[in-house]
Amino acid sequence: MVCCMCSRSVQILSRQLKVSQLRVFHIIAMDTVPPAASGVRSASSFLFDKAFVDGQWVGAKSGSVYQITNPSTGKVIGSVPDMNGDDTQQAIEKANLAFLKWRDTTAKERSLILRKWFDLTIQNKLELAKLLTAENGKPLKEAIGEIGYASGFIEWYAEEARRVYGDVIPSTAASKRMLVLKQPIGVAGMITPWNFPSAMITRKACAAIAAGCAVVLKPAEDTPFSALAMCQLAKEAGLPDGVLNVVTSSRDNAPAVGNLLCTSPVIKKISFTGSTVTGKILLQQSASTVKKVSLELGGNAPFIVFNSADIEAAVQGTMVSKFRCSGQTCVCANRILVQEGVYDQYVARLAEVMNQELKVGDGFDDSTTQGPLINSKAVDKVESIVEDAKRLGARLGCGGKRSDKGVNFFEPTLLSNVTLEMRCAQEEIFGPVAAVIKFKTEEEAVAIANSSSSGLAGYFYSQNLSQIWRVAEKLEVGLCGVNDGLISAIEAPFGGVKESGLGREGSKYGIDDYLEIKYVCLGGI
């Protein structure tokens, strides 16, 4: 499955220029929205043009940098170092030195630092959100929501740090005591995507840091600034140098950075969020050192509406599940399956609500609900998926083409009469396209839902209690929304089955991925 075919929205600029020569930033849009209160820092004060290694702001050894553009306006926001394997190696060594001290801190010490980091993030929520909107394009309201979600993981792991319990096992011999210790796994390598530039950082890094691990993290090429801003706040909160390191790299250098993280014997754990294609590469590379690997990969969520459903609730659930981040989330409704008895009613109402509620525009415009896609290649992909559906007989309810708002915008689109051979019914669309398929029976809907190699989120709407139990149990997914389209929560385990990934993040389970279990047998008693 091809999960995301985004292209470079950044251009690799004059690689030989010194970083200092490029320290010219135009955050016009970000700073035209006034700060939340006097004394609060501006969004551009969180814009760092260096990577963060061993508590220091550093450039690439080569001096190379690359530019990041606002996907809405195409304007350059700034530049960051284009780091390679050499730079990553240095970050790994620094992280390892930091780990040797950090693992010996008490859970309470780690908890207090994370708590302070959380407080600082909340204090600067709006400014961090503006930075996020500038580099990702999502509407400011959604960006504020993401910063709330991201900081929630910092708070959660501040609390979970103190709840890592071992065990005492009833011994089989009177002279022995059998104990289980949980210890930090070591330095963790992390690679994150552009669609949640803050939350994907904290969901991983804070679990690791709470457990006593150190981190080397590579954010997506398109959205490094949110990750770097988080480093600044972590430093202010008192996180020791080297515990959190962020290595920035262009898409050209990403494979080298990723390969080093996966093959380095110093790195003991890889955590990745992104496409299934990339996840498989990293899993293979990690085999060489038998690393523990967590993968949060692509989805292809079924969204089933049964005859018994509350149609108004199902339409509202579709809106929130399908159109958040302009359809660019891994848990977006992808294959909307509607039973024949309510099909026409659902399609008509969805078209009405889409026309009423969705407004395409710049993320800093208050009325915008649909920002740009991340880059022009993403728009090309969505356009070709819609063209394929139209060619094979899908009916267009609204949208269907590029928006006149700018090169990276696509109109919210409704396709009905969708059939299973169409690309929109097979691939992760990753754009604002609702593709509605008609089905007859529950068995047919479940079979279609489970026919995908992905198994991240799945949703269904029904008011029949027996059906709710049956379908919830049968859907092959890691996350299941019943009469609800927005189900992610800090307290709940997030992760997929089948080719959607390995492991769980968030919740009481998330920290386990950064812990080793050690059995200690105490003899001679």
Q: Among all residues, which ones are annotated catalytic?
A: 296, 330
CB closer to ligand NAP, 294 vs 462: 294
Q: For residue 165, report the phi and psi dihedrals to the nearest 5 degrees.
A: -100, 145
Contacts of 317 (CB under 8 A, 6+ apart): 303, 459, 461, 481, 483, 484, 485, 486
CA distance 104 to 515: 14
Q: Which of 124, 195, 286, 403 binds ligand NAP (CB under 6 A)?
A: 195
457-496 mask for ligand NAP (x: CB under 6 A)? ---------------------------------------x
299 near ligand NAP, judged by CB under 6 A = yes
Task: Report which residue type is found at 318.
Answer: T
Element (H, E) at 100: helix 85-102
CB 2, min distance to ligand NAP, A: 9
CB 387, min distance to ligand NAP, A: 21
CA distance 509 to 514: 10
Question: What 8-state DSSP symbol labels residue 410?
Answer: B
191 near ligand NAP, judged by CB under 6 A = yes
506 near ligand NAP, judged by CB under 6 A = no
CB 123, min distance to ligand NAP, A: 27
CB closer to ligand NAP, 147 vs 309: 147
Q: 465: which 2 tokens?
A: 């209690």
CA distance 384 to 379: 9
275 near ligand NAP, judged by CB under 6 A = yes
Q: Which residues pair with 461 in a beta bridge?
A: 305
* The Cα angle at residue 28 between residues 247 and 76, in degrees rounded to 5: 45
CA distance 401 to 393: 16
Q: Which of 151, 245, 248, 278 binds ligand NAP (CB under 6 A)?
A: 278
153 near ligand NAP, judged by CB under 6 A = no
CB closer to ligand NAP, 331 vs 418: 331
CB closer to ligand NAP, 116 vs 138: 138
293 near ligand NAP, judged by CB under 6 A = no
CA distance 462 to 442: 11
CB 103, min distance to ligand NAP, A: 27
521: how many CB neighbours lie within 10 A of its CB? 11
CB closer to ligand NAP, 191 vs 437: 191
Contacts of 141 (CB under 8 A, 6+ apart): none
255 near ligand NAP, judged by CB under 6 A = yes
Tell me which residue has tokens 């200092």. 20
Q: Which of 48, 156, 194, 306 binds ligand NAP (CB under 6 A)?
A: 194
- Residue (of 302, 296, 305, 274) closest to 424 by Cα position: 302
* The Cα angle at residue 83 between residues 19 and 266, in degrees rounded to 5: 140
Q: Which of 141, 177, 251, 359 binds ligand NAP (CB under 6 A)?
A: 251
CB 195, min distance to ligand NAP, A: 5
Q: Which of 67, 111, 273, 426 binds ligand NAP (CB under 6 A)?
A: 273
CB 98, min distance to ligand NAP, A: 23
423-442 mask for ligand NAP (x: CB under 6 A)? -----x--------------
DSSP calls for 332-378: SEEEEEEETTTHHHHHHHHHHHHHHH--B--TTSTT-SB---SSHHH
281 near ligand NAP, judged by CB under 6 A = yes
* The Cα angle at residue 219 between residues 227 and 433, in degrees rounded to 5: 105
Q: How many residues bind ligand NAP (CB under 6 A)?
A: 30
6 near ligand NAP, judged by CB under 6 A = yes
Stretches 1-9, 73-81, 101-109, 389-397: which one binds ligand NAP (CB under 6 A)? 1-9
Stretches 34-42, 92-100, 240-248, 250-258: which one binds ligand NAP (CB under 6 A)? 250-258
Tell me which residue has tokens 């022995």. 176
CB 249, min distance to ligand NAP, A: 6
Q: Which residues pair with 398 in a beta bridge?
A: 414
Contact positions toward ligand NAP, by CB under 6 A? Answer: 3-4, 6, 191-196, 218, 220-221, 251, 254-255, 258, 273-275, 278, 281, 296-299, 330, 428, 456, 496, 501
